Chain A
Amino acid sequence: MFYREAGQFKTTYAADMATFPIRQDRIGLALILFVAFVGVPLAGDVFLLNSVMIPFLILSLGAIGLNILTGYTGLLSLGSAGFMGVGAYACYKLETYFPNVNVLIWIVASGLISSVVGVFFGLPSLRIKGFYLVVATLAAQFFLEWAFARVPWLVNDNDSGAIEVSTRTLFGVPVIGPAASPQARYLVALTIVTIMAWIASNIVRGRIGRMWMAVRDMDIAAELIGIRLLRAKLLAFAVSSFYIGVAGAMMVFLWLGAAEPEAFNIDLSFELLFMVIIGGLGSILGAFLGAAILHILPIVLRALPAALGIPVQAAHVEHITFMAEGALIILVLIVEPHGLAQLWRTTKQKLRVWPFPY
């Protein structure tokens, strides 16, 4: 009933092939975008924007990138944090060499560099898959982390070994650095993520996405129907690393403000992988849901005792959060192994036929 499509006639092929063919979906999405672009910056305080929304958006973008590789093409990777680092360090180098070019251009350009590195480390994927590929990408992760720590050129010979971000403006408004308001940074992050999520959702629905999914489901069969595996897999690595690289550049420039190599350690790779698995493999929505569960849920859990007026030591809250988060993740995986996105798909299907289940 809530999703009744009766009366929504499609008169063109374009309308039939739209990303969101159901009117209710379009209204819902428009509402979400309206809230995200207008409501949150107006209502949001510093904490909500800085510590909840901006990281959520950036991690979502990273999860979309990994989902393209793991969820759509079936190539497991543990190198995501390394590729995020490539994006961040590339952006830092580009930005210090050409300080007069708008840094937003460099954020996107750094994705291209990350994509080249991703293709390079993706080369073995033609020969190896599954756990062996995990090990190969793990090598990428360790090598990249080592390079960030050991190549002083990457950090412009800073004594601290960290990269730092100075103030940059867009249309005269500071959007990056300490002087930028959280609203400005949030809107920049939201715009980038919205555009890139939209592009991703179109890529995965089209010829390229189907090619990836064919490779994922059975690569020999895909080869037999004329898909060139090397190109398909490397393209997946390239696009995925591009997204992850942009997310990495955004992480340093719009969120952290400075980063040590430690910021891109293996934990972050695992975090992204968990987001993809919990959110739902092969789903753009899943990337957002996974990021929400893994980033926002702990913040809510941490704030709960204080909000309810229960006096608990900060360290105990942390322990409880760890346990609750772990339990929830296991619960989600048992109840819905296909991730939260599948949960939404089921719900939506039920709503469409409600009250007549069949």
Chain B
Amino acid sequence: MKNHWIAKGLGGALALALAAPAFAEDSIYVPLFTYRTGPFAGSGTPVADGMHDYLTMLNERDGGIGGVKLVIDECETGYDTKKGLECYDTVKPRGPVLINPWSTGITLSLIPKASVDKIPILSMAYGLSAAARGDIFPWIFNPPDTYWDGASQILKYLGGGSVDGLKGKTVGYLYFDAAFGREALPFFQTAAKDAGFDLKLYPVAPADMQNQGSKWLDIRRDKPDFLVMYGWGAMNPTAIKEAVKANFPMDKFVSIWWPNDADAASAGEGAKGFKELNWHGAGADYPAFADIKKLVIDAGKSQAQVGEFGATLYGHGVFNSMLIAEAIATAQKVTGHKVVTGEDVRRGLENINFDDARLKAIGLAGFASPFKITCADHNSHGATFVQQWDGAKWVRVSDAITSSSELVQPLIDAAAKSYAEKNAGWPQRTEPCDNKS
């Protein structure tokens, strides 16, 4: 056991090294948990670039937010929970104002810590759906939609405006067989029973993301009328390619909001017609994107590859950073502090109110639909739309689809209640609310 101390010495030296870079008082520390390596890098990289570029653009154009510079710091998680926790411990001493885990696994591990460490967690449209209940999860935010909202919207779209339109049809559900894909499962099952459609399940194990042949044999045999996909990482391009190979009618194939342009493009011409749900506009035709192009990408301050700018996942990254920026700006307004803390930003998040005027002011009019976050509702369950791949870009093909709150809300309430009960001693909300209305 002699060499044991060497390890300790190294650890100690490391701790010192990490403690050394002190940050100036007049900056806001925004760590970004990203993954540009590992099996999910294909999805993680454009998201990371979108998040990074928007915040860098704010630094370049406005000198930060409210005159305070942002310190943007990427930590590579590789979509691995253990590395994510390591990142969390690395950034925590530097006073992060909020954390974006970008992984359901990391989010689940961090949820109980948020209220203890006073660092809000922004898990944009992923993570624990139940966290939409702000009265039970005051520190967790998952706007603009939960996976249950997404499921209800997809089914509504497929049913021609109402889930009941699916009566007598067969709907296949191709999903990533981990917490993420399974979470929507009870929703589909309940909906299938209520609306009277036949639900076929095609789980794809994380290890088999690129090896879906057997699932597609099943899909060919079952010939579902519609196929819904909840995938991430390498699962998305593989599924689209397999669908092309299996001659599955692409316009009957609808995914949740995670496939990227490159995923569809990689399947070639055959992918034409593929549909996905989205909550923000496709492309880069917005003033804020023009600023990113001018001040960040053309200035060589971005890692974005050619063709990544304006892609769906890049847009997700920008949307995520738009929420970060708005949370900080709102926090500055609500608290009057210039240099905000995690507690301030939590209040900021609860007071986010994106109306048309505000979206126009930040140069993203038309990019997002107006929504607001309140103390009770940390999600907003916003309207989405369906976009279709035309072989080169996404084209919006549906009107705004609202979420069926009568189906979703009971699930969220039950899940939140059960989470609080199972985690005995779950703290009661003591944080005051700024917008009781």
Contact = CB atoms under 8 A, between A and B. Distances in A.
Interface string A137-167: 0000000000001000000111111101111
Interface residues of B, number: 64
Contact of A288 (B1, B90, B130, B424): B1
A263 B14 contact: no
Interface residues of A, number: 69
Contacts of B128: 160
Contacts of B409: none
A5 to B, nearest CB: 16
Contacts of A56: 7
A300 B36 contact: no
Nearest to B177: A149
Contact of B415 (A159, A257, A307): A159
A52 B8 CA distance: 9
Given A32-B2, A307-B20, A43 B12 contact: yes
A296 B7 contact: yes
Nearest to B15: A48
Contacts, number: 188
Contact of A48 (B2, B4, B12, B425): B12
B37 A299 contact: no
A306 B20 CA distance: 10
A192 to B, nearest CB: 16
Contact of B112 (A257, A261, A314): A257
B304 to A, nearest CB: 13
B86 interface: yes
Nearest to B412: A159
Contacts of B193: none
A110 interface: no
Contacts of A53: 8, 11
Contacts of A44: 11-12, 15
B112 to A, nearest CB: 4
Contacts of B89: 46-47, 50-51
A317 interface: yes
A16 interface: no
B179 A162 contact: yes
Nearest to B416: A159
B436 interface: no
Interface in B290-326: 303
Given A40-B8, A51-B85, A285-B1, A159 B129 contact: yes
A346 interface: no
A127 B423 CA distance: 45
A314 B11 contact: no
Nearest to B4: A32
A51 B90 contact: yes
A265 B6 CA distance: 30
A313 B90 contact: no
Interface in B7-37: 7-8, 10-15, 17-21, 34, 36-37
B3 A161 contact: no
Contacts of A332: none
B274 to A, nearest CB: 27
A7 interface: no
B423 A166 contact: yes
A177 B82 CA distance: 16
Nearest to B19: A45
16 contacts: A32-B2, A40-B8, A45-B93, A157-B418, A162-B179, A177-B112, A178-B113, A257-B85, A257-B109, A258-B112, A262-B206, A263-B81, A285-B1, A303-B14, A315-B34, A315-B74
Given A47-B90, A262-B178, A306-B18, 16 more contacts: A47-B18, A47-B89, A99-B424, A149-B205, A159-B130, A159-B183, A161-B179, A164-B423, A166-B425, A262-B206, A296-B11, A299-B14, A303-B17, A306-B21, A313-B74, A322-B37
